[in-house]
Chains A and B, each alone.
Chain A
Amino acid sequence: MNKRGEFNFSLIFALVAGAAILVLAIYGAMKVSDTQRYQTDSEIAKKIAILTDPLQAGFAEGKKGEITFTADTRINNYCLDGQFGANEISVSTRAEIGDEWKDSGAATTIRSKYIFSGMRETGKKFTIFSKQFYFPYKVSDLIFLISGKYCFVDTPKEIESEISGMNIQNIEMGNCSSDSVRVCFGSSNCNINVRGTCTGSCNTAYDEGYVLKNGKKLDYTGSLMYGAIFSDTGIYECNVKRLMYRSGRIADVFSKKTDLMNSRSCNTNLKGDLVVFGGMALNASMDNLMQLNQIAKLIENKNQQELCRAW
């Protein structure tokens, strides 16, 4: 009787202890797997920041690259405004077991780049292309990150040749497939509608204008048009604010440079204009974009007429 009791106790004790060890081991393995995924996702976010360096247009009109992942991946873009601001890029990969999308890895903060995308871009293949942004001097390269399909309708020739020159396969010209987001130039029958308002000395009417998207009107100038088309409206407004601040800071650099040039008798009369423009740009937002663009055009004309040009 006693022996049976002893055997039962040992068996129960071993079972409980064994189960506890097994549960702990499974829990530990899951935690390690989560940590590894967090580490990989954080590394991918950092690598995206690094990969965008050579993808910046630099001296080219535009540049294009592709990032392909083996599993479905979600790239989150969070924009912080306030002075230089930043884009915070984080990544989460889709899991085969457990929660489909776990918390994203550590975000990489990118202050000197302007990344236009949706708040969450999901897919295996991401297209990244960049275009220069002038206001009136070069301010930065704008980076556009897209994962979905777009179809441009009634595209002006200049924009069509720009897109086909970069061989962006996500963007169809005419002949739209059913799963693509339609972007109309000049008309208003599409998901996104672009209106050009540039008159006078412009390459096309679409050098400046506005984009109608999700019931919002997004003003643009130059290559910001692509930002307004492809990015989330909040990210667009935030990046425009950051670009205006950067433009203001560069105006300050140029205005101090003109002092140094004048001291060498390489005279330029741009200082006054640059100080005023810089002051206005520092606190500007998308609402002031068109007004500032007019001043930028005047400053550019003045600079072109100088013997000693500031840029």
Chain B
Amino acid sequence: MVNSLKNGAQMKIQQMAFMIVAVLIFFVLVGLAFIGWQFIGIKDNFNNLQKEQAIASIRTISDMPEFNCDSRRSLCVDEDKLIVMANSSYSGFWNVASIRAYKILEKKSYLVYDSKQKNRKEFSTYVLICKKITGNYEKCDIGKLSVGVVDG
């Protein structure tokens, strides 16, 4: 009689323990699924913010005194400055992964900065690439300024 009561109690404890373990596993699985979903959200947000930053910074970079023709014209890049910048160390300054400028007709390119990061996505805009020949004469070509960001 005592033995059967003991066995019954043990069974109930075992049942309850199994139930608790099952409930815990269920919550852990739900938690893991939620964290996974959250991480996808974070990654998407990070990529979107990186792209937004690249698009917003193209104009800002072309208008920087290190590149611009003069302080009155937007989206105009000085070719002499491009040559200088392509050969100088400005690393640690840029918030983007790469900066490159192309002269479309002459098929000439200037790599200003390359962080050497993989999985890059580039965004570009058309700019004027000008060079001062004399005090009053400037030679300009159509070019592209391309800014790279790390893509997820």
> A residues touching B (Cβ–Cβ < 8 Å)?
2-3, 6, 9-10, 13-14, 17, 21, 24-25, 28, 32, 35-36, 39, 43, 46-47, 49-50, 53-54, 56, 58-59, 83-84, 109-112, 132, 137-140, 249-250, 252-253, 256-257, 260-261, 264-266, 306-309, 311
Output the nearest chain B residue to A43 by Cβ-Cβ distance: B45
- B13 and A13 contacting across the interface, CB-CB below 8 Å: yes
Contacts of A56 in B (CB 8 A): 60, 63
- A6 and B49 contacting across the interface, CB-CB below 8 Å: no
Using a Cβ–Cβ cut-off of 8 Å, how many residues does chain B contribute to the interface with A? Answer: 48
Indicate if B40 sits at the interface (CB-CB under 8 A): no
Output the nearest chain A residue to B57 by Cβ-Cβ distance: A53
- A249 and B52 contacting across the interface, CB-CB below 8 Å: no
- Given A84-B92, A111-B93, A266-B135, does the pair A10, B71 have CB atoms closer than 8 Å? no
- A59 and B16 contacting across the interface, CB-CB below 8 Å: no
Proximity bits, B77-100, A CB within 8 Å = 1, else 0: 010110111001010111100000
Closest 4 A/B residue pairs (Cβ): A53-B56, A307-B135, A256-B84, A260-B80
Proximity bits, B84-124, A CB within 8 Å = 1, else 0: 11001010111100000000000000000000000000000
Q: Give the CA-CA distance A84 to B94 in the complex, in Å.
A: 10
Q: Give the CA-CA distance A261 to B135 in the complex, in Å.
A: 10
Output the nearest chain A residue to B9 by Cβ-Cβ distance: A6
- A59 and B95 contacting across the interface, CB-CB below 8 Å: no
- Given A83-B92, A253-B66, A266-B135, does the pair A17, B85 have CB atoms closer than 8 Å? no
- Given A84-B93, A112-B95, A260-B83, does the pair A25, B135 have CB atoms closer than 8 Å? no
Of B8, B59, B60, B84, which one neighbours A257 at CB under 8 angstroms?
Answer: B84
- B84 and A59 contacting across the interface, CB-CB below 8 Å: no
Contacts of B9 in A (CB 8 A): 6, 9-10
> B residues touching A (Cβ–Cβ < 8 Å)?
2, 5, 8-9, 12-13, 16, 20, 23-24, 27, 31, 34, 38, 42, 45, 49, 52-53, 56-57, 59-60, 63-66, 70-74, 78, 80-81, 83-85, 88, 90, 92-95, 132-135
Of B27, B38, B80, which one neighbours A35 at CB under 8 angstroms?
Answer: B38
Contacts of B24 in A (CB 8 A): 21
Q: Give the CA-CA distance A112 to B134 in the complex, in Å.
A: 32
Of B34, B60, B72, B88, which one neighbours A252 at CB under 8 angstroms?
Answer: B88
Nearest-Cβ distance from residue A230 to partner chain B, whole angstroms: 22
Nearest-Cβ distance from residue B81 to partner chain A, whole angstroms: 6
User: Contacts A83-B92, A253-B84 given; 11 further ones with Cβ under 8 A?
Assistant: A6-B12, A10-B12, A32-B34, A43-B49, A46-B53, A59-B71, A59-B74, A111-B92, A111-B94, A112-B60, A311-B70
Of B5, B73, B78, which one neighbours A59 at CB under 8 angstroms?
Answer: B73
- B132 and A2 contacting across the interface, CB-CB below 8 Å: no
- Given A112-B64, A252-B88, does the pair A39, B94 have CB atoms closer than 8 Å? no
Q: Give the CA-CA distance A266 to B20 in the complex, in Å.
A: 85
Contacts of B13 in A (CB 8 A): 9-10, 13
Contacts of B92 in A (CB 8 A): 83-84, 111
Output the nearest chain A residue to B91 by Cβ-Cβ distance: A84
- Given A47-B49, A50-B53, A140-B65, does the pair A13, B16 have CB atoms closer than 8 Å? yes
Of A43, A111, A308, which one neighbours B132 at CB under 8 angstroms?
Answer: A308
- A28 and B133 contacting across the interface, CB-CB below 8 Å: no
- Given A17-B16, A43-B45, A53-B56, does the pair A266, B132 have CB atoms closer than 8 Å? yes
- A111 and B27 contacting across the interface, CB-CB below 8 Å: no
Q: Give the CA-CA distance A243 to B93 in the complex, in Å.
A: 13
Contacts of A252 in B (CB 8 A): 88
- A308 and B134 contacting across the interface, CB-CB below 8 Å: yes
- Given A250-B66, A266-B133, A308-B132, does the pair A261, B56 have CB atoms closer than 8 Å? no
- B71 and A311 contacting across the interface, CB-CB below 8 Å: yes
Contacts of A249 in B (CB 8 A): 66, 90
Nearest-Cβ distance from residue B31 to partner chain A, whole angstroms: 6
Q: Give the CA-CA distance A3 to B1 in the complex, in Å.
A: 12
Nearest-Cβ distance from residue B44 to partner chain A, whole angstroms: 11
- A54 and B16 contacting across the interface, CB-CB below 8 Å: no
- B45 and A250 contacting across the interface, CB-CB below 8 Å: no
